């Protein structure tokens, strides 16, 4: 393309960059109103017990109903929110909203909430979690906090202390996107963790890369021996679900089981699941 566009191409890229800069300037300004303007939404994606086919819980996934751009995915604004510091208030809002919603669900379904790595530097996090639990009346052991490997790479002692306080409250800790970061076995020893979520790139590779199966099997065995449950992300086909179930993987999540749902759709999903019906909402509206 650069060649065919000749001299114009330099300008083309320059304009593109300006557009991006302008766009992110705009988004940054809009982000200030997202919370106060009631523009944030939560969707809930089912997490299934692969061994029993029962729904185990849901992951809260953030959406921004932007006044002009429409429904905006977290990939487009979480990074920006981290840069401006808005992420602290946003994550706290998610925490409260997710706990309040899950408190309405029947049985002992879990709710998983994503936290950005930076949250683990915030002393107020433990209090924020405690407040969300008290306000919602949700039993602590139904809340799972998803943190990435990046969060565990920060100052080891303070992260350890924070995880210990959270677990003392009864809250569960998941490592999200496992396998994409540094995946050090050291932190399975250093930190107490309840659940590992294997990144969806491994699941996508199941069919193509012969090394993926032994790796997944090893992680599953490791989890079993350490008392850590293993959740596979991004299951899109019945074949993948079947393979992971056979390997002994505990839980699965992905479009095969259900897309992120609106809160009002969650109850239908739960009752259909209890009647043994499979209601796969393939596309997110
Ligand atoms: P994540 O925590 O790993 O969430 C899983 C992502 O994979 C979600 O994208 C989900 O919609 C998508 N997904 C689920 N099943 C499938 C599948 O079968 N195939 C494929 N290709 N994708 C699938 P989403 O909702 O766009 O979220 C992206 C990331 O944004 C999340 O990744 C998480 O890191 C972050 N995020 C989402 N909500 C929050 C939040 O409330 N707070 C923070 N700090 N981060 C959040
Ligand atoms: Mg997650
Ligand atoms: Mg994940
Ligand atoms: Mg992921």
Mutation choice for ligand 1 from 74, 76, 85, 118, CB with most ligand atoms inside 8 A: 74
Residue 9 is predicted with a pLDDT of: 40
Provide the ipTM: 0.98
Using a pLDDT cut of 90, give the percent of the chain over it. Answer: 66
Find out whether 191 and 172 touch, Cβ atoms under 8 Å.
no
Q: Is the C-alpha dihedral spanning 119, 123, 128, 133 positive or negative?
A: positive
State the pLDDT at residue 154. Answer: 78
State residue 206 phi and psi, 5-degree precision.
Answer: -50, -40
CA distances from 208 to 181, 202, 240 (A): 21, 10, 12
**Distance in angstroms (rounded) separating the CA atoms of residues 202 and 192:** 24
Q: Whose CA is nearest to atom 3 of ligand 1?
A: 177
Give distance in angstroms: CA of 114 to centre of ligand 3. Answer: 8
CA of 260 to the centre of ligand 1 (A): 9
Tokens of 285: 């509206």
Q: Is 57 in the pocket of ligand 1 (CB under 6 A)?
A: no
Q: Cα(212)–Cα(13) distance, rounded to whole angstroms?
A: 39
196-212 average pLDDT score: 93
Residues 213, 240: contact at Cβ < 8 Å?
no
Return the pLDDT at 285.
64
Q: What is the pLDDT of residues 30-64, one digit of tens each?
A: 888 898 889 999 999 999 999 999 999 999 999 99
């Amino acid at each position: 393309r650069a060649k065919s566009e000749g001299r114009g191409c330099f300008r083309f890229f320059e304009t593109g960059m300006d557009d991006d800069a302008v766009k992110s300037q705009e988004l940054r300004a809009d982000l200030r109103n997202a919370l106060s303007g009631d523009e944030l939404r939560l969707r809930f994606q089912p997490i299934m017990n692969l061994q029993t086919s029962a729904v185990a819980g849901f992951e809260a996934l953030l959406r921004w109903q932007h006044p002009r751009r429409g429904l905006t995915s977290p990939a487009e604004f979480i990074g920006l929110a981290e840069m401006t510091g808005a992420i602290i208030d946003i994550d706290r809002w998610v925490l409260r909203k997710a706990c309040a919603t899950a408190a309405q669900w029947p049985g002992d379904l879990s709710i998983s909430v994503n936290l950005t790595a930076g949250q683990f530097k915030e002393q107020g996090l433990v209090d924020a979690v405690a407040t969300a639990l008290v306000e919602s009346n949700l039993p602590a052991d139904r809340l799972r906090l998803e943190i990435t490997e990046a969060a565990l790479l920060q100052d080891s002692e303070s992260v350890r202390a924070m995880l210990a306080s959270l677990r003392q409250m009864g809250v569960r800790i998941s490592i999200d996107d496992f396998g994409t970061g540094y995946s050090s076995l050291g932190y399975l020893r250093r930190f107490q963790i309840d659940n590992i979520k294997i990144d969806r790139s491994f699941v996508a590779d199941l069919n193509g890369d012969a090394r993926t199966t032994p790796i997944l099997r090893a992680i599953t065995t490791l989890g079993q021996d350490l008392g850590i449950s293993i959740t596979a992300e991004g299951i899109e086909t019945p074949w993948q679900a079947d393979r992971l179930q056979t390997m002994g993987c505990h839980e699965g999540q992905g479009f095969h089981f259900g897309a992120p749902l609106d809160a009002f759709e969650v109850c239908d999903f739960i009752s259909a699941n209890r009647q043994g019906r499979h209601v796969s909402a393939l596309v997110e509206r």
